[in-house]
């Protein structure tokens, strides 16, 4: 049944106080209890809950804005909450949205396995869950929408190998708790491993990055440089944030701009580094495409319809109905024909003109 509840600002404040207090003080499993006295304004308006891992990275603001705009344009209502990297908070936020009467949850999980608790909680309340960009694993997840994440890794490694096909390479990955990071590495290694087996490449570092934190990536790169006496010929970094950390480490030893470094997400800082020559490439995943298609999927699910999917992905429990979108490699030569052409980034912001 479609439900949308309006609450006063005071009650919202109280909910958030309870949310934060409970998330910080208890590790008990969340259970949903429908609260009384809520005002149901319109049973026919789909109400979508959007749970983000974080808003501490540039790209997620774009996802939030585009997703919310499209849900509203379809005639639905949406509420977005961000956990900023805390699993307990994300679970409590799911509980809050369920209690408010959402018809579907769309989730960007912080931890792929921990987020299975969100799916379980939602299903206890007859609410379906769509995993957005990152796969929720080991759960009876209803739907998944993302880009082809193995291909992301293939694009990264391929572009680096085009620049340097022999020597000492470092792989600086994302958070191991993020299933996407595992897929990025898998794709990259499908390109690198044959060259490692031939003896053309030596992998001097193969590190995941806790929390996708650029500072952790910088430290991992510093350790790789120390162990190799600063002898490194290329770095495959999993996204633009980790690339920034890697490049900071390279700058400290005079190697920034002298060896190829990959990235992902086409963040403004990453694109600027490509223009400057310290970063070689990024992977553009058009956020307007995933945000609008996810919104359309969520709107249909909220109305009790079954959205069309094009494949399935195994999440280590079931085959999840999935939509996979195509990522695009971006180099200095293709900035204008990709991120600028699409209006994703403004030319003046990139080039300062």
Q: For residue range 215-249, what is the model confidence (pLDDT) as tens digits?
A: 999 999 999 999 999 999 999 999 999 999 999 99
Sequence-distant (6+) residues with CB within 8 A of 46 are: 2, 4, 71, 74, 75, 76, 77, 103, 104, 298, 299, 302, 303
Ranges in the chain, pLDDT < 70: 1-41, 353
SS3 for the chain is: CCCCEECCHHHHHHHHHHHHHHHHHCCCCCCCCCCCCCEECCCCCCEEEEEECCCCCHHHHHHHHHHHHHHHHHCCEEEEEECCCCHHHHHHHHHHHHHCCCCEEEECCCCCCCCHHHHHHHHHCCCEEEEECCCCCCCCCCEEEEECHHHHHHHHHHHHHHHCCCEEEEEECCCCCCHHHHHHHHHHHHHHHHHHHHCCEEEEEEECCHHHCHHHHHHHHHHHHHHCCCCCCEEEECCHHHHHHHHHHHHHCCCCCCCCECCCCCCHHHHHHHHHCCCCCEEECCHHHHHHHHHHHHHHHHCCCCCCCCEEEECCCCEEEEEEECCEEECHHHCHHHHHCCCCCCHHHHHCC
Supply the pLDDT for residue 20.
42
CATH number, span 149-285+329-351: 3.40.50.2300
Residue 280 burial class via C-beta count within 10 angstroms: exposed 0-12, middle 13-18, buried 19 and up: buried
Output the 3-class SS for 10-33: HHHHHHHHHHHHHHHHCCCCCCCC
Report how far apart, in Å, the C-alpha atoms of 119 and of each of 44, 124, 131, 210, 299 are: 24, 9, 9, 24, 18
Residue 304, phi then psi, degrees to nearest 5: 85, 15
Q: What is the pLDDT of residue 42?
A: 76
> How many Å separate Cα 131 from the centre of its chain?
10
Overall fold of domain 5-141+287-326: Rossmann fold (3.40.50)
Residue with tokens 């259970």: 31
The closest of 278, 246, 267 to 335, measured between CA atoms, is: 267
Contact 317, 327 (CB under 8 A): no
Q: Are 71 and 98 in contact (CB under 8 A)?
A: no
Tell me what pLDDT residue 58 has: 79
Residue extents of the structural domains in the chain: 5-141+287-326, 149-285+329-351
> Residue 41: what pLDDT?
66
Model pLDDT, residue 59: 82
Q: Which of 238, 197, 198, 196 is nearest to 221 (CA)?
A: 238
pLDDT at residue 11, rounded to an integer: 41
Residue 80 near residue 36 (C-beta atoms within 8 A): no
Contact 127, 94 (CB under 8 A): no
The yes-or-no answer to whether 5-141+287-326 and 149-285+329-351 have a common fold is yes
- Residue 332: left if φ>0, alpha if ψ -120 to 50, beta else—which one? alpha
Partnered with residue 169 across adjacent β-strands are 203, 234
């Amino acid at each position: 049944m479609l439900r949308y509840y309006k609450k006063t600002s005071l009650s919202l404040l109280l909910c958030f106080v309870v949310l934060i207090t409970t998330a910080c003080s208890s590790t008990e499993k969340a259970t949903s209890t429908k609260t009384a006295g809520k005002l149901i304004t319109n049973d026919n308006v789909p109400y979508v809950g959007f749970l983000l891992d974080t808003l501490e990275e540039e790209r997620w603001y774009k996802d939030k804005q585009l997703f919310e705009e499209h849900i509203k344009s379809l005639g639905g209502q949406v509420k977005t909450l961000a956990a900023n990297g805390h699993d307990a908070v994300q679970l409590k936020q799911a509980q809050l949205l369920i209690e408010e009467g959402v018809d579907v949850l769309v989730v960007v999980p912080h931890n792929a396995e921990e987020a299975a608790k969100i799916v379980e909680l939602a299903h206890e309340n007859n609410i379906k869950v769509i995993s957005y960009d990152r796969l929720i694993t080991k759960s009876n997840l209803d739907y998944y929408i993302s880009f082809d994440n193995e291909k992301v890794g293939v694009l990264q490694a391929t572009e680096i190998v085009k620049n340097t096909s022999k020597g000492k390479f470092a792989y600086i990955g994302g958070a191991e708790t993020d299933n996407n990071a595992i897929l990025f590495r898998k794709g990259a290694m499908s390109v690198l491993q044959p060259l490692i087996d031939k003896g053309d490449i030596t992998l001097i570092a193969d590190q995941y990055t806790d929390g996708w934190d650029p500072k952790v990536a910088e430290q991992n790169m510093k350790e790789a440089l120390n162990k190799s006496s600063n002898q490194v010929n290329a770095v495959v970094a999993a996204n633009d944030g980790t690339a920034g950390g890697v490049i900071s480490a390279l700058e400290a030893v005079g190697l920034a701009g002298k060896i190829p470094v990959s990235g992902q997400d086409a963040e403004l800082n990453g694109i600027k580094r490509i223009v400057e020559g310290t970063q070689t490439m990024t992977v553009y995943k058009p956020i307007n495409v995933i945000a609008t298609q996810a919104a359309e999927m969520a709107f249909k699910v909220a109305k009790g319809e079954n959205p069309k999917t094009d494949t399935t992905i195994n999440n280590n429990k079931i085959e999840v109905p999935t939509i996979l979108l195509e990522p695009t490699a971006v180099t200095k030569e293709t900035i204008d024909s990709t991120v600028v052409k699409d209006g994703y980034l403004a030319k003046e912001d990139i080039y300062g003109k």
